[in-house]
C-alpha cells in the first residue's frame, strides 16, 4: 500500500475516532459513537497490516485470536460493579504494550547499530532515543501503577494509603535518577552506556509506578485510574513516534487528553486538586473532625421502620431518589426501579438525583440505573435538582453519604468543605438507607443523619427497599 493511501486511511480512522468520542457524550448517540470508533479502529488495524513493516502475519494472527477471545470473555463475565478494576487492567496492559514497543525498537538499534538502523527507519539518534525513553518511562509507570490500582480495587491489597516518612523525597529521588539515566540514554552514542541507562530507566519506572500509587487511598482510585488512562494514551502516542505510525499518535493523544479532562472533572466535583489526590495520602487516618467544627449540626439518629417509611412515601407527591455507593454494594438498582414505578402508580413524580462522583467511578450510578432500565429522562444532574429540592416531599438517600453531607457546605472545619453536594437536607422528609453507623468514603460522620427531618432506615439497602415494596403490595392486595 502506498504511503499516501495509508495516511488517507489513517485520517479517515482519526475522524471516526473524534466523531465517535463526541457521540459518546450523549446517551442516545453513545451506541452509534461506540460503533463508529470501532469501525475507525478496524480501518486503522487493517491498513496497518498492509504496511511494509509487517514481515510475518503468524504472530499477529495468534495475538488477534487470543485478544478477541479474552475480550469477548471479559465483556460477558465482568460484572458492572467490577468495571473500575477492568479499566485499571486495560490501562495497565496498554502501558505494557507501549513499553514493549519501545523496548523492541531499542533491541533493533542494539542489533543493527545506529547507522544501519537509520538507513532503514526514519529519525535521528537523539529523537529516536528520546521517544523510546518516553515510551518506556510512561508505559512502565502506567503498567505497575495500574496493576497496583487493580489490586486495591479488587481488595487483593488494602485500600488504605500506605505512607512512610520521607515517601515523597524517596519518590522524588527516584524520579531524578530516572531522568538522569534518561538523559544519558538520549545523549550518549556509546552502546554499552546506553544499554545500562536503558535497564536503569526500565527498573526505576516500574518501581516508581508502584510507589506513586501506594500512598493513594482506595476511594481515590477512580481519579488515579483516569490519570493512568491518560498516561496509557500518552505512552501509545510516544510509541506512535517510535514506530512512525500516525494513527497511533492521534489515538494516543485522544486517550491522553480525554483521560486528563475526566480527571480534572472528578477533582472539581470533589473540590480537590490532582496534586492533593496524588500526594496528600487522603483517607490514611480516620477523620478526627467527625462531629464537625463551627456550623456543625447537633442531634441524634432517629430510626424508621419499612412500614413507617411506606406511610411517608404513600402520601408523597414529589419524590427524589439519591443513590450512592451503597446502592452499588447492595446491588439494589432493580428494586429501586420497582419502588419508583410503584410510587409513580401511586401518583408521585419520581426523579433520580445524580452526583458526579457518587459511587466509585464516573457515571457509576448512571450505569447501574441504566442496567435496571430506569428511564434516562428521570435522571437529573446535581445542578438541576438542587433548586427543586425544597419542593420535594421526600428524599430517599440510598447508600449515599459524602455526596449529601451538608458539612461540605456549612462546616469550614470539615475536610470535604467546599465539595458540591446534593441538597437532600432541604427536602421536607429525608429517609436514609444504610446498614449502620458506617461513615462515607471520606471517613466523616454525616450531619444530614442528625437533622430533625431525617429518618434512618437501617439494613442492607436492597432488603430495606424490598420491605417497603412489600408494604405497597400488601396495601394494593388488601
Three-class SS of 322-373: EECHHHHHHCCHHHHHHHHHHHHHCCCEEEEEECCCCCCCCCHHHHHHHHCC
With CB atoms as reference, the residue minimizing the distance to ligand NAP is 438
Using the rule CB under 6 A, is 281 a contact of ligand NAP? no
Using the rule CB under 6 A, is 95 a contact of ligand NAP? no
Sheet holding 429-434, edge to edge: 379-381, 349-354, 318-323, 394-398, 429-434, 454-458
Does the annotation count 308 as an active-site position? Answer: no
* CB-count exposure of residue 124 (10 Å: 0-12, 13-18, 19+): exposed
The position carrying cell 490519570 is: 227
Minimum distance from CB of 444 to ligand NAP (Å)? 8
User: What single-letter DSSP state applies at residue 303?
Assistant: B
User: What single-letter DSSP state applies at residue 2?
Assistant: -
Residues in 360-399 that interact with ligand NAP by CB under 6 A: 360-362, 364, 399
Minimum distance from CB of 43 to ligand NAP (Å)? 33
- In DSSP terms, 322 is beta-bridged to 397
Cβ-based nearer residue to ligand NAP, 96 or 419: 419
Q: CA–CA separation, 457 vs 455, rounded Å? A: 7
Minimum distance from CB of 254 to ligand NAP (Å)? 21
Binder among 86, 88, 133, 220 for ligand NAP (CB under 6 A): 220
Q: CA–CA separation, 472 vs 468, rounded Å? A: 7
Number of residues that bind ligand NAP (CB under 6 A): 34
Backbone angles phi and psi of 436, in degrees to 5? -165, -135
Using the rule CB under 6 A, is 406 a contact of ligand NAP? no
The position carrying cell 489513517 is: 10
Minimum distance from CB of 219 to ligand NAP (Å)? 5
Binder among 40, 140, 359, 443 for ligand NAP (CB under 6 A): 359
Using the rule CB under 6 A, is 401 a contact of ligand NAP? yes
Stretch that binds ligand NAP, among 3-11, 167-175, 278-286, 357-365 (CB under 6 A): 357-365
**C-beta separation of 129 from 190 below 8 A:** no
190, 308, 402, 460: which one is catalytic? 402
Map residue 394 onto helix, strand or coil: strand
Nearest CA-CA partner of 252 in 12, 5, 14, 11: 14
Minimum distance from CB of 433 to ligand NAP (Å)? 5
Site string for ligand NAP, 410-439 (x = CB under 6 A): -----------------------xxxxxx-
Q: How many CB atoms lie within 10 A of CB 162?
A: 17
Using the rule CB under 6 A, is 329 a contact of ligand NAP? yes
Minimum distance from CB of 273 to ligand NAP (Å)? 13
Binder among 140, 326, 415, 420 for ligand NAP (CB under 6 A): 326
Active-site residue list: 402
Give the residues lining the site for ligand NAP (CB under 6 A).
Answer: 219-220, 222-223, 266, 270, 324-326, 329-330, 357-362, 364, 399-403, 433-438, 440-442, 460-461
Amino acid at each position: 500500500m502506498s504511503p499516501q493511501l495509508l495516511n488517507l486511511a489513517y485520517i479517515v480512522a482519526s475522524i471516526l475516532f473524534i466523531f465517535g468520542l463526541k457521540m459518546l457524550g450523549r446517551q442516545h448517540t453513545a451506541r452509534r459513537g461506540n460503533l463508529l470508533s470501532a469501525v475507525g479502529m478496524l480501518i486503522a488495524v487493517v491498513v496497518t497490516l498492509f504496511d511494509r513493516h509487517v514481515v510475518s502475519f503468524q504472530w499477529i494472527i495468534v495475538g488477534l485470536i487470543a485478544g478477541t477471545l479474552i475480550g469477548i470473555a471479559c465483556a460477558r463475565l465482568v460484572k458492572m460493579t467490577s468495571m473500575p478494576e477492568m479499566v485499571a487492567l486495560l490501562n495497565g496492559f496498554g502501558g505494557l504494550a507501549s513499553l514493549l514497543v519501545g523496548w523492541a525498537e531499542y533491541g533493533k538499534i542494539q542489533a543493527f547499530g545506529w547507522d544501519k538502523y537509520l538507513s532503514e527507519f526514519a529519525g535521528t539518534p537523539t529523537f529516536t532515543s528520546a521517544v523510546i525513553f518516553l515510551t518506556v518511562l510512561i508505559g512502565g509507570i502506567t503498567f505497575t501503577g495500574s496493576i497496583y490500582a487493580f489490586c486495591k480495587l479488587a481488595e487483593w491489597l488494602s485500600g488504605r494509603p500506605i505512607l512512610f516518612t520521607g515517601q515523597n523525597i524517596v519518590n522524588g529521588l527516584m524520579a531524578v535518577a530516572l531522568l538522569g539515566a534518561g538523559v544519558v540514554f538520549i545523549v550518549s552514542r556509546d552502546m554499552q552506556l546506553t544499554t545500562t541507562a536503558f535497564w536503569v530507566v526500565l527498573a526505576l519506572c516500574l518501581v516508581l509506578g508502584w510507589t506513586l500509587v501506594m500512598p493513594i487511598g482506595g476511594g481515590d482510585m477512580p481519579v488515579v485510574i483516569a490519570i493512568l488512562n491518560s498516561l496509557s494514551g500518552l505512552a501509545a502516542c510516544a510509541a506512535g513516534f517510535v514506530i512512525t505510525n500516525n494513527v497511533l499518535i492521534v489515538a494516543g493523544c485522544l486517550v491522553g487528553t480525554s483521560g486528563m479532562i475526566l480527571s480534572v472533572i472528578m477533582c472539581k466535583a470533589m473540590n480537590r486538586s490532582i496534586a492533593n489526590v496524588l500526594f496528600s495520602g487522603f483517607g490514611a487516618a480516620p477523620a478526627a473532625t467527625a462531629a464537625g467544627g463551627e456550623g456543625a449540626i447537633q442531634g441524634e439518629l432517629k430510626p424508621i421502620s419499612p412500614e413507617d417509611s411506606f406511610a411517608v412515601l404513600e402520601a408523597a407527591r414529589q419524590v427524589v431518589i439519591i443513590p450512592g455507593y451503597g446502592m452499588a454494594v447492595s446491588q439494589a438498582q432493580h428494586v429501586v426501579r420497582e419502588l419508583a414505578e410503584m410510587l409513580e402508580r401511586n401518583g408521585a413524580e419520581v426523579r433520580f438525583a445524580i452526583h458526579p462522583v457518587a459511587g466509585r467511578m464516573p457515571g457509576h450510578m448512571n450505569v447501574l440505573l441504566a442496567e435496571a432500565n430506569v428511564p434516562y429522562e428521570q435522571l437529573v444532574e446535581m445542578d438541576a435538582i438542587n433548586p427543586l429540592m425544597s419542593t420535594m416531599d421526600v428524599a430517599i438517600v440510598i447508600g449515599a453519604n459524602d455526596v449529601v453531607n451538608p458539612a461540605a457546605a456549612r462546616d469550614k472545619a470539615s475536610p470535604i468543605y467546599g465539595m458540591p453536594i446534593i441538597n437532600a437536607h432541604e427536602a421536607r422528609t429525608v429517609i436514609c438507607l444504610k446498614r449502620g453507623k458506617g461513615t462515607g468514603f471520606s471517613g466523616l460522620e454525616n450531619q444530614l443523619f442528625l437533622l430533625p427531618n431525617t429518618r434512618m432506615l437501617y439494613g442492607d439497602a436492597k432488603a430495606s427497599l424490598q420491605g417497603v415494596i412489600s408494604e405497597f403490595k400488601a396495601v394494593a392486595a388488601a
